[in-house]
Amino acid sequence: MKELFILAVVTVFTLATYYLVEPFAHSKMHKHVESEKFAYADLPALTKKGDANRGKDLVMGAGACTGCHAIKVAGLAAPMDPVATAQSYGVNTPDLSNAGVVYDAKFLAALIKNPAHALKVEHKYDAASGKVHPMAQFGGAGGDLDQEVADMVAYLQSIAVKQDKLTPKMAFETACGRCHAMKYENWTQIGDKPSFKMKKDELAFDIQVIDYQDALTKYMGKLPPDLSMYIRSRGEHYISTFVENPQHLIEGTAMPRVGVTAETAEKVIEHLADAGDTKRVERDEVGKKVMVFIVIFALFAYLWKRSIWKDLH
């Protein structure tokens, strides 16, 4: 019994120390932001029911979306290659094939009407600076603006893959891939890095990446970090709330509010976990087996001790 009492004392002091240096210290060092469940409450709700057919005409026509964006599922390639696009706009434009499932509908509507506002980067484009966001505002095609926007959103939703077909990699590439490289998944901002037979071709590719990154750095003020290990360095909660609204965690940051849905955010995080915490499933499985083994070991050790000590007292 005395041993159990000593064990209790040791445990209490150990846990107190742990509590102070881990949960408590971290709560004081880092700002904690609660998730808003990707509700985007500051943006107005969609009031009109969109029509995908009319939306198609607008996206291809008056909306001018395809003047800057690729829509590969509709057979429309990008007007320029990624490097040239970045050199014109500062960053490549995402392919809109899956925009309807990746982004929140309310957010898409707000984005079309006023990109800087929806993306929460108005601090970079205030009247005093004289700069305007590179994605043109849609001022309307002559009809009811809200109706036209709702139509375009409906069209984008109609061409996108179903939610359950959207893979973590697709979600990441559409939502984050134009700004963030991910070396451990072989991803550069201009696409997957192919394997080259010739050194010369590889160097040519690398130079394209560097040109792209130079343009992006100029646009963002700094090069967005490679996200390979961010699941370990920032953790799920931080990344999720940061994506939801970067300004909450880093005030004045150049990273836009990307406007993804809660489901897409989960997939993006899963992709980050695939890169930086690849063996998590194996770890859990092996962990359970090792625990069983070690408990059995302790049990046998106890029986051995008992059999030896019964002669001792």
Partner 1 sequence: MAHFTKATSVHDWINQRLGIDTVRRVMATEYWIPKNINFLWAMGMVLAITFALLLVSGIFLLMYYQPNVNTAFDSVNYTIMREVDFGWLWRHVHGVAASVVFLVIYIHMFTGIYYGSYKNGREMIWISGMLLFVTFSAEAFSGYMLPWGQMSYWAGMVITNLFSLGGLHADGIVEWIRGDYVPAQAFLDRFFMLHVLLLPLAIMGVIGLHFGALRIPHVNNQDGEELDFEKEAAKYKAGDKKGSKVIAFANDFMSKDLFVVGIFLIFFFYLVFFHYDFAMDPVNFDPADGLKTPAHIYPEWYFLWSYEILRPFSTNIGLMAFGFAQVIFFLLPFLDRSPNAIPANRRGLFSLWFWAMLVDMIVLTAMGKLPPEGIFSTIGLVAALVFIGLWIALPFITKSEKKA
- Report yes or no: 239 and 103 within 8 Å, Cβ to Cβ: no
- Amino acid code (one letter) for 107: F
Contact flags string 290-309 toward partner 1, x per CB under 8 A: xx--xx-xxx-xx-xx--xx
Minimum CB distance to ligand HEC smaller for 141 or for 202: 141
The residue range among 92-100, 148-156, 229-237, 259-267 that interacts with partner 1, by the rule CB under 8 A, is 229-237
The residue range among 14-22, 181-189, 220-228, 274-282 that interacts with ligand HEC, by the rule CB under 6 A, is 220-228
| Upper half-sphere CA count for residue 26 (Cβ side, 13 Å) | 9
* 33 is an interface residue for ligand HEC by CB under 6 A: no
In terms of Cα–Cα distance, which of 271, 267, 220, 272 is closest to 246?
220
Task: Pick one of 179, 182, 273, 275: the residue that binds ligand HEC (CB under 6 A).
Answer: 179
Alpha-carbon span 292 to 296, nearest angstrom? 6
Please tell me the total number of residues recorded for the chain in this structure: 313
Q: State the DSSP string of 187-252.
A: EETTEEPPP-SSHHHHHHHHHHHHHHHHHHHHHHSSPPPP-TTHHHHTHHHHHHHHHH-HHHHSTT
Minimum CB distance to ligand HEC smaller for 129 or for 195: 129
- CB 104, min distance to ligand HEC, A: 9
As to burial, measured by CB atoms within 10 angstroms (0-12 exposed, 13-18 middle, 19+ buried), residue 292 is exposed
- Amino acid code (one letter) for 252: G
* Three-state DSSP state, 76: strand
241 CA to centre of own chain = 10
Task: Pick one of 44, 218, 233, 281: the residue that binds partner 1 (CB under 8 A).
Answer: 233
Q: Which residues bind ligand HEC (CB under 6 A)?
A: 59, 63-65, 67-69, 89, 91, 93-94, 96, 99, 103, 111-112, 119, 134-136, 138, 152, 175-176, 178-180, 220, 222, 224-225, 227, 230, 234, 239, 242-243, 250, 253-256, 258-260, 268
Q: Which residues bind partner 1 (CB under 8 A)?
A: 2-3, 6-7, 10, 13-14, 16-18, 20-22, 24-25, 28-29, 183-184, 225, 228-230, 232-235, 276, 278-279, 282-284, 286-287, 290-291, 294-295, 297-299, 301-302, 304-305, 308-309, 311-313
